[in-house]
Amino acid sequence: MTVYGAVFYILAGVILIATGLAITRRNLVHSIVYLVISFFGSAMLYYLFGAPLLAALEIIIYAGAIMVLFLFIIMMLRVEPSALRKPTLRQWLPAGVLGLIYVAVAILVVTTDPGSQTILETALARPRVFGRFLFQRYWLSVEIVSFLLLIALVGALYLGKAFVKEGGDQKEDQS
């Protein structure tokens, strides 16, 4: 195993453990901290694979923006750790079946795909090359995704507007 291989498995282990802890913690703020650690691991994986731009974006967008919003909402709502309760059969059965299918497919892919045997070479994708590649090959997908985001934005704006009208006396609260 090369040094890169060792680093890969260490990172993968950290990501798996952190994500597992994030799912199982009762305290939501702790979950968020573990999830942020997991994102950090993914960012380092991207860097290891020679994509520093993706690594930086992963931290800026996921760890730095989305998780902060989660944290913000949890702090505002003051959610107490929920009491232990058993999920009903209807709740866990579909999740369990779907999860099992994933595990089966993963084992199948790892054991049969010859691609899993070759060692990945480290490449270095510069931001300029990456941008050219993305906007020349996949410009349509990029446009569709941005259109989706625009729709979400308009939806959020609409919800915010409706709320202020019902609130009535909150005149100064327009932001």
Partner 1 sequence: MDWMIGFAILIVKLGVVLVGLLLLAAYLVLLERKFLGRLQIRYGPNRAGKFGLLQPLADTIKMLTKEDIVPEAADRVLFLLAPAVVAAEALLIFAVVPFGASVTLLGKKIPLVITDLNVGLLYVFALASLGVYGVALGGWASNSKYSLLGGIRGAAQMISYELSLGLSLVPIVMLARSFSLLDIVRAQAHYPFILVQPVSFMIFFISAMAETKRIPFDLPEAENELGAGYHTEYSGMRFGLFFLGEYVNLQVFGALVAVFFLGGWRGPFLPPVVWFLIKILVISILMIWVRGTLPRLRYDQLMHLGWKVLVPLALLNIVATGFVLLIIG
Helices 28-48 and 67-77, axial angle in degrees (round to 10)? 180
Q: What is the footprint of partner 1 within residues 79-98 (CB under 8 A)?
A: none
CA separation for the pair 134, 140 (Å, rounded): 10
Q: Does 48 bind partner 1 (CB under 8 A)?
A: no
Least Å distance between CB 37 and partner 1?
Answer: 11
HSE (side-chain half, CA atoms, 13 Å) at 12: 7
Tokens of 55: 């690594």
Q: Does 172 bind partner 1 (CB under 8 A)?
A: yes
User: Among 2-10, 11-19, 71-79, 150-158, which window interacts with partner 1 (CB under 8 A)?
Assistant: 71-79
In our burial notation (b when 16+ CB lie closer than 10 A, e otherwise), range 53-80 reads bbbeebbeebbeeebeeeeeeeeeeeee
Among 7, 17, 21, 53, binds partner 1 (CB under 8 A): 53
CA separation for the pair 122, 110 (Å, rounded): 21
Size of the site for partner 1 (CB under 8 A): 26
Q: Does 59 bind partner 1 (CB under 8 A)?
A: yes
Among 6, 12, 16, 75, binds partner 1 (CB under 8 A): 75
| Contact present, 35 and 67 (Cβ < 8 Å) | yes
User: Among 48-56, 80-88, 112-120, 136-144, which window interacts with partner 1 (CB under 8 A)?
Assistant: 48-56
Q: Does 33 bind partner 1 (CB under 8 A)?
A: yes
Which residues of the shown chain bind partner 1 in the complex (CB under 8 A)? 27, 29-30, 33, 36, 52-53, 55-57, 59-60, 63-65, 68-69, 71-72, 75-76, 126-127, 172-173, 175
